[in-house]
Amino acid sequence: MAKSTAHRLLTTLCSRGMVEQNPETGSYRLGLHLYELGQLAQARNAVRHVALPIMSRLAEATGHTVNLAVADGPDVVFLERLETSADERILGHAGRRFPSHCTSSGKAIAAYNPEAAQARRDAGFPPRVSHTVRTQNDWDRQLVEVRRRGFATSSSESFDDVTTLAVPILDSRRRATTAISVLGPTARITPELDRLARLVGQAARRIGRTRPG
């Protein structure tokens, strides 16, 4: 893009509050209006509204961070995250969008959503950390395992030494676009995997029964 065109676009975005310019450095950053729009979109999300009290109870029962994720092409976007003080150190300023093959939520959704599964195949499997899924065969094998067990796990796939466990939130056709998960250090999650799978599964079914549509 030509510099003149880029500058014209940035000027327009600044006038709308979408972008702002740092007066000291001259560089540009996202503006507050984008934050407002994001907050509005989040507040109006019906599944998030239904899920929040259930997520709170799950966080209390497990002592772990709880996430609500939705599929978006080859990725998942975390609509809500209830963090424990210990897990804040793990996540830091981690973004809300991750490639689906790096997360238990992405696997849980893709196992019950052929379009999401195929979108990830088409996008490929770039590695993130030590144990990230790297091939289509591994991806397909893990989706079969999710359907067999009813839940997905991700261990040292988004963050080293961190494990997550997710269960898809199924609609009446047994398809998934969202998932609920718990996250914590592998040393804490692994010994209680069966208990967590049961609790997260119960939460997913409650959300599925009460979600709109």
Domain coordinates of the chain in residue numbers? 3-37, 46-210
Looking up tokens 């030494």, which residue turns up? 161
Three-state DSSP class for residue 86: helix
Amino acid at 201: G
Counting Cβ atoms within 10 Å, is residue 61 exposed (0-12), middle (13-18) or buried (19+)? middle
Looking at residue 210, what is its pLDDT?
84
Using the CB atoms, write b or e for 21-53: b if 16+ within 10 Å: eeeeeeeeeebeeeeeeeeeeeeebebbebbee
pLDDT of the residue at 48: 84
pLDDT (tens, 9 = 90+) of the chain, 213 residues, equals: 888 888 889 888 888 888 888 888 888 888 766 655 565 555 456 788 899 999 999 999 999 999 999 999 999 999 888 987 665 566 655 568 899 999 999 999 999 999 999 999 999 999 988 899 999 999 999 999 999 999 999 999 999 999 999 999 999 999 999 999 999 999 999 999 999 999 999 999 999 998 665
In angstroms, rounded to a whole number, what is the distance separating the alpha carbons of residues 81 and 95? 11
Q: What is the pLDDT of residue 95?
A: 61
**Residue whose tokens read 């976007």:** 77
**What six digits make up the tokens of 154?**
């991700």
Distance CA 169, CA 99 (A): 19
Give residue for tokens 């770039």: 126
Backbone angles phi, psi at 79, to 5 degrees: -75, -35
Q: CA angle 197-212-208, nearest 5°?
A: 15
Q: Which amino acid makes up residue 189?
A: I
Q: How far is CA 51 from CA 48, 66, 185, in A?
A: 5, 11, 24
Q: Return the pLDDT at 114.
A: 97
* Residues 131, 155: Cα–Cα separation, whole Å: 7
Sign of CA dihedral 176, 177, 181, 183: positive
Instruction: Please tell me the predicted confidence (pLDDT) of residue 14.
Output: 86
Q: Which CATH superfamily is domain 46-210 in?
A: GAF domain (3.30.450.40)
Task: Please check whether residue 193 is in contact with residue 153, taking contact to mean a CB–CB distance below 8 angstroms.
Answer: yes
